[in-house]
Amino acid sequence: MIHARQLRKSFGSNHVLHGIDLDVQPGEFVVMLGLSGAGKSTLLRCMNGLAQPDSGTLQVGGIDLMARHSRRQLARQAAMVFQHHNLVPRLSVLKNVLTGRLGALSTLPSMLQLFRQSDIALAHECLERVGLAHKAHERTDSLSGGQMQRVGIARALAQQPQVILADEPVASLDPKTARSVLQYLRDATRGLGIAVVCNLHQVDYAREFGDRIVGLAQGRMVYDGSTHGLDEAALQAIYHAQPQAVTPAAPHPWQHAIPAGGLL
Ligand SMILES: Nc1ncnc2c1ncn2[C@@H]1O[C@H](COP(=O)(O)OP(=O)(O)OP(=O)(O)O)[C@@H](O)[C@H]1O
């Protein structure tokens, strides 16, 4: 699904990603943790084709993101769920979900938004997966924040992607609603074998919903392992990072979980 090797990205003199190695399998729910500025969004943006890595290799759903590719080609493999859901408020819930099908239409039908019956059926099915089938014909701005985020998930599912990239999808939601949204995201993607990489700031949610945790600190992967292995030492490395201390010469108890070559 996702294969990154020695991925590096800088903005001018700001070296943001320092050689990331990451493999994500179908159906896996990977939560990415790290301080603000650790490089989590930049890594997701590289995977979504919104940022171009400087070097290394990166494949998402079989597409080589270091080579030329079309947005449409990538949209069929990777869908994004945003913090502020990026929906069109005045459109119906169903129409917002159908925008996830635009990349699958040829140019003219896409410009005229002429959806096929099969696209409409799929959009209804995606709404059902997030428990919102009954809201299909309501205006999107009549929904609550949690419901809107579920529409964002349904739109991503409607792309029929192999990978969903979620950038802090529950940052603006109360804890109960946040849990319900993450539950829908996990259940829907697991049922369909879609790989998820989800940036979160809440360690509790990461432990509850992640199959696996990836910890970034100052653009380096300092933890890659199970939720059970996310102990104090791992949290210390992620949130109080001194990257020069995290080297093969000074192993941490959880270091076995990090792929070879993934520390520098
Ligand atoms: N388009 C850009 N142009 C210049 N610098 C950028 C750009 N995008 C990100 N950066 C810089 O890259 C670094 C990492 O930012 P990034 O948003 O990836 O971190 P993050 O871990 O996602 O943080 P947060 O949790 O706050 O979203 C920061 O120093 C940021 O200023």
Per-residue pLDDT tens for 31-80?
999 999 999 999 999 999 889 999 999 999 989 999 877 667 787 789 99
Q: Which pLDDT belongs to residue 256?
A: 35
Given a contact cutoff of 8 angstroms between Cβ atoms, the answer to whether 225 and 242 are in contact is no
Q: What is the mean pLDDT of the chain?
A: 87
Q: Which one is predicted more confidently, 144 or 1? A: 144
Q: What would the mean pLDDT of 79-100 be, rounded to a whole number?
A: 92
**Whether residue 14 has its Cβ less than 6 Å from ligand 1:** yes
Which residue has better confidence, 236 or 255? 236
Q: Which of 73-77, 187-191, 197-201 shows the lowest mean pLDDT across its residues?
A: 73-77
pLDDT of residue 259 exceeding 90? no
| Phi, psi (deg, nearest 5) at residue 242 | -120, 85
pLDDT for position 116: 83
Tell which atom from ligand 1 comes closest to the C-alpha of 45: 18
Which protein residue has the closest C-alpha to ligand 1 atom 17? 41
For residue 41 and ligand 1, the question of a CB distance below 6 A is answered with: yes
Average pLDDT over residues 222-234: 94
Q: Which 3-state string (H, E, C) describes the chain?
A: CEEEEEEEEEECCEEEEEEEEEEECCCCEEEEECCCCCCHHHHHHHHCCCCCCCEEEEEECCEECCCCCCHHHHHCCEEEECCCCCCCCCCEHHHHHHHHHHHHCCHHHHHHCCCCHHHHHHHHHHHHHCCCHHHCCCEHHHCCHHHHHHHHHHHHHHCCCCEEEEECCCCCCCHHHHHHHHHHHHHHHHHHCCEEEEECCCHHHHHHHCCEEEEEECCEEEEEECCCCCCHHHHHHHHCCCHHHCCCCCCCCCHHHCCCCCCC
Calculate what percentage of the chain has a pLDDT beyond 70: 86
Choice among 63-67, 130-134, 159-163, 244-248 with the minimum mean pLDDT? 244-248
- Architecture per CATH, 71-201: 3-Layer(aba) Sandwich (3.40)
Q: Per residue in 11-33, pLDDT tens?
A: 999 999 999 999 999 999 999 99
Whether ligand 1 lies within 6 angstroms of the CB of 11 is answered as yes
Residue closest via CA to ligand 1's atom 6 equals: 11
> Higher model confidence: residue 149 or residue 107?
149
More confident residue, 80 or 248: 80
As given in the structure block, the two tokens for residue 20 are 């990331």
Nearest CA owner, ligand 1 atom 24: 36
36 CA distance to ligand 1 middle (Å): 8
Q: Which residue among 42, 165, 168, 238 is best mutated to probe the pocket of ligand 1, counting the most ligand atoms within 8 A of its Cβ?
A: 42
